Amino acid sequence: MENEEKPKKIIGLTPNVFWLGVVSLMNDFSGEMVYSVMPGFLTTVFGAPPILIGFLEGFADALASFLKIYFGWFSDKIKKRKILSVIGYSVSTTTRWFLAFTSNYWQVFFLRAIDRSGKGLRDSPRDALISESVEERDLGRSFGYHRAMDTAGKVLGPLSAIVILPIILNDYRLLFKIAFVFGIFAVMSFFFVKEIGGRKSELKNENEVKALDFKKIFSLKEYTPEFKMFILSIFIFGLGQMPIALTLLKSREVANGSFSIPLMYFITNLAFALFAIPAGKISDKIGERKILVLGFLAAIIGYVNLAVFKNIYFVVFGFVMLGVYSAMTDGIERALTTKLVVRERLAAGQGFLNAAVGISSLLSSLIGGWIWTSFGSAPAFAYGVFMMVVGLFSFINLNKNRGVA
C-alpha cells in the first residue's frame, strides 16, 4: 500500500476493516438470535434427535465450505470482493424471514443450507478484502478486530434472545422475524465499504502468478507445501470439533429451563469477544503458530471438562474455554493463510481454509452425533478430545519441520 493514498483511520483501523466489522456485528446479532435458539426450536417444536441437529449443522457448514473455494476462486478471477460479499449477506438475511413459516425440520434444513450458501459466497471475498485493506504487519490485529466484532454480535444475539423470548411468550417464529429486521442493517452498512483494486503481488518472482483455472480450483497442487500441511493439520483437528449447536445440548444435562442453551452460547461468545483482539495483537508480535497451539489446548481442556464433569461450574468453564479457543484460532488462521499464499490466490486460499474447517465439521457432526445419540455425551466429547490431540501434535510436528511462523 506504499504507493497508494492511505485513508484516514477509524480507531486505528482502516475504514474498510472498521465497517466490515460493523457488518459482521449486525449480521451476527441478527443470525445468532436465531442460531442460539435453533437446538431448542428443533428439539422442542419438531422433536429432532441430536444426530439430526449435528448433521444439519455439519452439512450446512460443509456446503458453505465448498462454495467458499469456488467463490474464492471466482473473486480472484473477476478481482471483485464487495459485490459478492453483499449478495452473500443478503441471501443469509432473507432466510431468517422464511424460517418463521417452517412446519417441519426438513424445511429448516433447507433454509439453513441456503443460509450457509450465503456464507459460502461472502466469506472468502470478504476476508480477502480485509487482507487487501491493510499492511501485512497489521493483519493479526485487523482480523482480530473483525472476529471480535463478529463475536460481539454473537454475544448480543443470544442475550437478546434470552430477554425477548419471555416477552413474546416463547414465540420462536416472531423472534425470527425480529432477527430479519436487524439483518437488513448489516447489508446497509456496506455503503461505507470500498472495493480495493489494482493491487499487485508483494512477493518476489511471483509477478506471473494468475488466479487458478476453473479446473484446478479444488486442487491444492498449485500451493506451497507449507500451506498444504497447514490445511491438513486444521482438517485433522476439526475432525474432533463438533458443531456448537450439538455441543450446546450438554447444557440441558446440567441445567433445566429453556434458557440454558442460549445462556451457554452467550458465555462462549463473550469469552471469544474478550480474547479475540488481544490474541490478534499478540500473534503479530510472537507469531501465529504459538497462538494457535494455545488455542488448540484451550479446546482440548474445554472438551475434557464437558466429557468428565456434570457440575454446572465445570460445564460453564468448558464453554468458556471453547470461546477462548475460537478467539485464538478463528482470525489467526485467516491471518496465517494470508501469509502462506500469493495475493492472486488470496480468496481461494481462504476458501481452502474454510473448506478444511467445514468438511471436518460435517464428519465430526456425523460421528459425534451418532456417538452422542447411541452412547451419551461423554463418549462423544472423549472422541473429540482424541482427535483434537492428534490434530494438535500434527500441527506442532509439521510446523516444526516446515518452519511456519
Distance of CA 168 to CAs 103, 108, 159, 164, Å?
20, 21, 15, 6
CA dihedral 247, 102, 68, 294 (to 10 degrees): -20
- In this prediction, residues 194-208 reach a mean pLDDT of 52
Q: How high is the pLDDT of residue 256?
A: 62
Measure the CA–CA gap between 291 and 282, rounded to whole angstroms: 8
How many Cα atoms sit within 13 Å of 266 on the Cβ side? 15
Q: How high is the pLDDT of residue 202?
A: 44
C-alpha closest to that of 405 among 343, 344, 325, 335: 335
> Is-contact 64 117, C-beta < 8 A?
yes
Measure the CA–CA gap between 319 and 253, rounded to whole angstroms: 14
- In this prediction, residues 94-101 reach a mean pLDDT of 94
Measure the CA–CA gap between 257 and 108, rounded to whole angstroms: 23
How many Cα atoms sit within 13 Å of 139 on the Cβ side? 22
Query: What's the whole-number average pLDDT of the chain?
Result: 83
pLDDT at 137 over 80: no
> Is-contact 153 12, C-beta < 8 A?
no
**Could you tell me which residue, 320 or 70, shows the higher pLDDT?**
320
213: confidence class by pLDDT, cuts 50, 70, 90: low
Distance of CA 372 to CAs 136, 248, 261, Å?
43, 12, 17
Identity of the amino acid at 91: V
Nine-digit cell string for 229:
500441511
Q: How high is the pLDDT of residue 224?
A: 79
> Is-contact 404 336, C-beta < 8 A?
yes
Identify the bridge partners of residue 10 per DSSP, sorted by sequence position.
Answer: 13
- What DSSP designation does 2 have? T
Task: For the chain, give every domain's residue range.
Answer: 15-193+221-402
Q: Which pLDDT tens digit goes with each residue over 250-296?
A: 887 776 655 677 788 888 888 887 887 788 778 777 878 888 999 99
Q: Which pLDDT tens digit goes with each residue over 299-326?
A: 999 999 999 888 888 889 999 999 999 8
Q: How high is the pLDDT of residue 209?
A: 44
Q: Does domain 15-193+221-402 have CATH number 3.40.50.300?
A: no
Lowest-pLDDT range of 21-30, 230-239, 247-256: 247-256
Q: Which pLDDT tens digit goes with each residue over 161-194?
A: 888 988 998 888 999 999 999 999 999 999 998 8
Q: How high is the pLDDT of residue 324?
A: 93
Measure the CA–CA gap between 118 and 88, rounded to whole angstroms: 4
pLDDT at 197 over 70: no
How large a percentage of the chain has pLDDT more than 90? 28
**Could you tell me which residue, 148 or 304, shows the higher pLDDT?**
304
Q: How high is the pLDDT of residue 56?
A: 80
Helices assigned H by DSSP within 36-171 = 38-45, 50-78, 82-99, 105-132, 139-167
Measure the CA–CA gap between 224 and 33, rounded to whole angstroms: 40
216: confidence class by pLDDT, cuts 50, 70, 90: low
**Could you tell me which residue, 124 or 185, shows the higher pLDDT?**
185
pLDDT at 328 over 70: yes
Q: How high is the pLDDT of residue 93?
A: 95
Q: How high is the pLDDT of residue 404?
A: 45
Q: How high is the pLDDT of residue 86?
A: 94
pLDDT at 99 over 50: yes
pLDDT at 54 over 80: no
> Is-contact 54 369, C-beta < 8 A?
yes
